[in-house]
Homo-oligomer: A and B are copies of this chain.
């Protein structure tokens, strides 16, 4: 790694980077883009870019994600700000990291002109990423695991209608352990956040009742 040369820089720059999580094919995945130019050319990274003058940090994160994924209705939360002077060899860049959640997007992504490629990667088998993005990924996963325990934000990873088995699977995939089926159902139903729908889904087993969230905005509740 080259040491940064800031000779011509008068102020650190401000960027946003977004760790977008989703559940697909039974795994927790994160969206990565492949960098085209510069010292990290060919490496994967979280999408991001410089904050524009007059733009809020949240807006900048939403804009970057919208430009990269087309997704607009996502859960977004500021994670941590990474500011080590050497994290970007081209210029001292302070990165305000966000984490974001979407239901299984299940569709083709377009990387646009800025990046060479784009794709969903299993969070627990990420390649060596550009910048300090592996540390960012670890921090985001830790926050997601913690928040799943004391908030209702799992709603942002689920489609509008789902079974209790599906919500449990998301918990198990993220906290990375099996949960007792009966205890989990009792707890999650006792919170009063789920409403049963007058319909079922047929699968390999007997038909399962479909549920929906009574509220799709974040709040603190003790789930785990």
Contacts and interface: CB of A to CB of B under 8 A. Distances in A.
Contacts of A54: 4, 6, 85, 92
Given A14-B11, A14-B14, A14-B94, A56 B78 contact: no
B85 A10 contact: no
A57 interface: yes
What range describes how many residues of A lie at the interface?
Answer: 20 to 34
A66 interface: no
A6 B83 contact: no
A53 interface: yes
B96 A81 contact: yes
Nearest to A93: B14
Interface string A35-76: 000000000000000111111111010000000000000000
Contact of A12 (B6, B9, B14, B78): B14
A28 B82 CA distance: 30
B83 A53 contact: no
Contact of A96 (B10, B53, B94): B94
Contacts of A57: 81, 83, 94
Interface in A1-22: 4, 6, 9-14
A55 B85 contact: yes
11 contacts: A4-B54, A9-B53, A11-B11, A11-B51, A11-B53, A12-B14, A12-B51, A12-B52, A14-B83, A55-B85, A78-B80
Interface of A: 4, 6, 9-14, 50-58, 60, 78, 80-81, 83-85, 92, 94, 96
